Structure 1
Amino acid sequence: MTKVLLIYLVSCLLAISQAAIMRRCDMAKLLYKEELHGFEGYALSDWLCLAFVESKFNTSKISDNADGSFDYGIFQINSHYWCNDYLSHSENLCHVDCIGLTGIEWKLHCSGRPLSYWMTGCHLA
């Protein structure tokens, strides 16, 4: 199972099983447990920043889009097949790889900023 699919599944499971706003350190522990620290060169603080920007750690957040699709969960995964994930049938309407789109909010709100405070007080072990 690839990490992209894992991220999607974690997001979906969080939305189904907890349906709540997660605490920052609990989210850090979960991401650490799922071995996302260092994935694609991103630290846990990057993932935490992204989750906060997208959903404020709200696992049950659902956002509707003008095109009729919806964004679900803590990472706001889009329901419409608008990129190619190489795992399922995709219309790939934007002619891009899905992994290339995952950093848009991160670039706007997290990239180049000190992010160590996202891990402050979190004990992962």
Structure 2
Amino acid sequence: MGSPLLLLLLALLTAVTKAKVFSQGELAHLLQGEELDGYGGYSLATWLCMAFYKTTFNTAAQSIKVDSSANYSIFQISSQQWCTNDRSPSDLLSSNITDDIICAKRIVRNPQGMDAWKGWAMLCKGRDLSEWVEGCDL
């Protein structure tokens, strides 16, 4: 039997091979179908802006922080703060973003809302985001 670290690395590599980089229109349609437009008071354009600036729509995006925590998925979900009891990193790194969306919905139901994503607060909050859905044929 392998070490837990080796097994985790293998699981992450497996997930990465099933990763996907969405086009803006493709992701817009998917998020709309998952009823994110208006969810928690946030428009579809808001979700697209956040996902772009966090990961450029890449489902395999991950970042390791100085404190050894990590952010995973197209929404960069923190391993220390969100959805850690019922999701594994490999769930959040695959091309199927259903788990990511479920967790993102849970995050915005908290008092911080989208402010939980610092990048969103700096790059998207309070701006005209209508360009994010232009040309998406929604």
Residue 123 in 1 paired to residue 123 in 2?
A: no
The 5 A counterparts of 1:92-107 are 98=107, 99=110, 100=112, 102-103=114-115, 104-107=118-121
**Deviation at 1:77?**
0.5
User: Could you say what the CA RMSD is over the residues aligned between the two structures, in angstroms?
Assistant: 2.6
Amino acid at match of 2:134: T
Match of 2:64 in 1: 64
SS of equivalent to 2:71 = strand
Residue-pair matches, total:
100
TM-score (normalised: structure 2): 0.63
The 5 A counterparts of 1:17-32 are 18-32=18-32
Distance 1:88 1:64 in 2: 19
Match of 2:52 in 1: 52
Deviations 1:30-83 (A, max 9, x none): 110000110111100000000011111111111101111111111001111x37
Unaligned runs of 5+ in 1: 1-14, 90-96
**Deviation at 1:102?**
3.5
Structure 1 stretch 43-52 or stretch 53-62: which is displaced more?
A: 53-62
TM-score (normalised: structure 1): 0.69
Distance 2:63 2:136 in 1: 29
Distance 1:101 1:69 in 2: 21
Residue 33 in 1 paired to residue 13 in 2?
A: no
Unaligned runs of 5+ in 2: 1-14, 87-105
User: Does the CA-based 8 Å contact 2:114-2:121 persist in structure 1?
Assistant: no
Pair 1:67–1:101, CA change in 2 (3 A): farther
Question: Where does structure 1 differ by over 4 angstroms across 4 or more consecutive aligned residues?
Answer: 15-18
Residue 113 in 1 paired to residue 127 in 2?
A: yes
Higher helix share: 2
